Amino acid sequence: MFFHLFEKKYVTALMLCFCVIFLTTQGLQAAPLSDQDFKIAKASFLDAKKKRWDKASKKAVQAKSALPAKFIRWMQIIDPKKDVPFQEIAAFISHNSDWPRQSVL
């Protein structure tokens, strides 16, 4: 049974928690999101929750950190209703082999 994160009330909090966990597991390579990037990430996550992928992506790329845009792309790929070409999925896995839910990808 597929657990739909996108239908849960606290999806934004879960996504932000993921960002924090991801950043802390990357060691010294990753820096925490700035306040501005955090606001951008939160706004893009709200659009992603509503499946407004274009808006979410456009907002996420405004961040100085690449993480919000990468996370929005990951959300698109794991969304069973979003048709993502195989080549894009394979490229994402190749560049992000440590990201969660590889079996879903």
User: pLDDT averaged over the chain?
Assistant: 75
Assess if residue 5 is contained within a domain.
no
Give the pLDDT mean for 14-40.
67
For residue 28, what pLDDT is reported?
Answer: 41
Instruction: Read off the pTM.
Output: 0.62
Assess if residue 93 is contained within a domain.
yes
Number of structural domains the chain divides into: 1
pLDDT at 30 exceeding the cut of 60? no
Assess if residue 14 is contained within a domain.
no
Range from 16-25, 31-40, 74-83 carrying the lowest mean pLDDT? 16-25
Assess if residue 89 is contained within a domain.
yes
- Is the distance from CB of 68 to CB of 55 less than 8 angstroms? no
Assess if residue 29 is contained within a domain.
no
Separation between Cα atoms, residue 43 and residue 20, nearest integer Å? 16
Assess if residue 2 is contained within a domain.
no
| Structural domain range at position 95 | 34-105
- Is the distance from CB of 65 to CB of 38 less than 8 angstroms? no
**Proportion of the chain above pLDDT 70, given as a percent:** 64
